[in-house]
Structures are given as structure tokens and as C-alpha cells.
Amino acid sequence: MPISAADLEASIRSALPIIHLEIEDTSSGCGENYSIFVVSEAFEGKNTLARHRFINEVLKSQIAQMHAFSQKTLTPTQYRAHLAKQAA
């Protein structure tokens, strides 16, 4: 059964405070490949691996049903730097 972006969003939002969240179905709508971009204060003080492990645990059952999953996780400070770099 395909995973919906709404299911992913609900799981993520219930697990941590979100400042910014993008979920992209990269499988042309079949729900087997997703890419997510999450910005949260909960990532402060955690390295990338710890952040990814956290998200993997939150989405454990959904990821098990996917073919591919990628994620980008940033702190609010990193996100502001990311936006500034894009604007430049």
C-alpha cells in the first residue's frame, strides 16, 4: 500500500516541533519514493547522523514500505544560512 505525504507529515509533526517541512514524492505519485526536508529546534546539538536516526525511527513503519527515502535535516540557524545562501 502506498505511503501518502499526509501520513509522513502527520508522523513527523507529532514527533517534534517543526519550523519548516517539505515532503516530495519523487516516485511520480506512486508513494514509494520520498524526499523530506525538515527544520526543527529539536535538532540543536545533534549531528546529522543522530538527526537522521531520529527521523528514521519516527517513520520506521512507513520507510519499511518504501523503495527509497532521503532526508535533509537542519537546525533553525542552519536553515537561515541556507535561505541566505539561496538569496545571494
Instruction: Give tens-digit pLDDT for 76-85.
Output: 999 999 999 9
Give the domain ranges of the chain: 5-87
Strands 33-39 and 20-25: antiparallel
Give the DSSP H/E element, type plus range, for residue 9. helix 5-15
| pLDDT value of position 47 | 97
| pLDDT value of position 1 | 64
Q: Does domain 5-87 have CATH number 3.30.300.90?
A: yes
Question: Tens digit of pLDDT for each residue in 15-71?
Answer: 999 999 999 999 877 778 999 999 999 999 999 999 999 999 999 999 999 999 999
- The answer to whether residues 25 and 52 touch, using CB atoms and an 8 Å cutoff, is no
